[in-house]
Amino acid sequence: QSVLTQPPSVSAAPGQKVTISCSGSSSNIGNNYVSWYQQLPGTAPKLLIYDNNKRPSGIPDRFSGSKSGTSATLGITGLQTGDEADYYCGTWDNSLSAGVFGGGTKLTVL
Amino acid sequence: QLQLQESGPGLVKPSETLSLTCTVSGGSISSSDYYWGWIRQPPGEGLEWIGSSSYSGSTYYNPSLKSRVTITLDTSKNQFSLNLNSVTAADTAVYYCARHIRYQLLHDIFDIWGQGTMFIVSS
């Protein structure tokens, strides 16, 4: 049971847009910044978004992040088959004094 | 650029101790700007943060693992290590090391990851 809640799966057609939600509480998302990670099949996770909405160098602007209250959202536009991956949100939980991740969302590009 | 590489035995018996090392190249672990962390992923499951430690001596552990975990830094070798004792089958997972940026107690970012190493607990 993850501290952060994500939908298990989402899907959309190539070229379309998809959003992935991440729900938490005041002890985590509500008072800390959120990161998003992309894990392509058989590979290590890769930082996609940090500080709620910032992209590391090399990440295309098709990927975006936002936060409102105790929830965060990852948006991906212009979907490509290469975007098929598992996506995880992550942040710090002040009550646990621990890093926490969502359970992950599997994106399928139909 | 900074690279991380995990190493260690792939198989350990139940009740024994898991010991993994992460070798850092292209940068120094002797910086108080960063923490150095471990994250694991059981087969077919999600990510679980294990703990992070910094050169300054500050260390955080996952409360669910705290009694069994130790993370140490070896600046002479530019490595950091994970020890997890009294392992069971539930500790079978891919173990990743990562650089953990933590500042202002608000920002926690795992920005660079190792490729991961599979660790199996079996008799």
Give tens-digit pLDDT for B38-56: 999 999 999 999 999 999 9
Contact status of A100 with chain B (Cβ, < 8 Å): yes
Q: Which of B46, B106, B116 sits opposite A101 (nearest CB)?
A: B46
* Percentage above 90 pLDDT, chain B: 91
Q: Give buried/exposed letters for A59-96 (b at 16+ CB in 10 A, else e).
A: beeebbbebeebbbbbbbeebeeebebbbbbbbbbbeb
> Binning pLDDT at 50, 70 and 90, where does residue B31 land?
confident
Interface probe for B, chosen from A51, A52, A106 (most Cβ of B below 10 Å), is: A51
Segments in chain A below pLDDT 70: none
Distance CA B62, CA B109 (A): 16
Q: What is the pLDDT of residue A26?
A: 97
Averaged over B74-85, what is the pLDDT? 97
Task: Tell me which chain A residues have a C-beta less than 8 angstroms from the C-beta of B105.
Answer: 92
Instruction: Tell if the CB–CB gap between A46 and B49 is shorter than 8 Å.
Output: no
Average pLDDT over residues B86-96: 98
Mean pLDDT of B105-123: 95
| Coil vs helix vs strand at A86 | strand
- In three-state secondary structure terms, B89 is helix
Give CA–CA dist A103/B46, Å, rounded.
Answer: 5
Q: Is the pLDDT of residue B32 over 90?
A: no
Higher pLDDT, A106 or B33: A106
Chain B CB contacts of A32 below 8 Å: 106-108
Q: Cα separation of A18 and B38, whole Å?
A: 30
Once rounded to an integer, what is the mean pLDDT over residues B80-101? Answer: 98
**Residue B106 confidence class, pLDDT cut points 50, 70, 90:** confident
Which has the higher per-residue pLDDT, A63 or B10? A63
The stretch B16-32 carries a mean pLDDT of 95
Sequence-distant (6+) residues with CB within 8 A of A100 are A2, A3, A4, A24, A28, A90, A91, A92, A93, B49
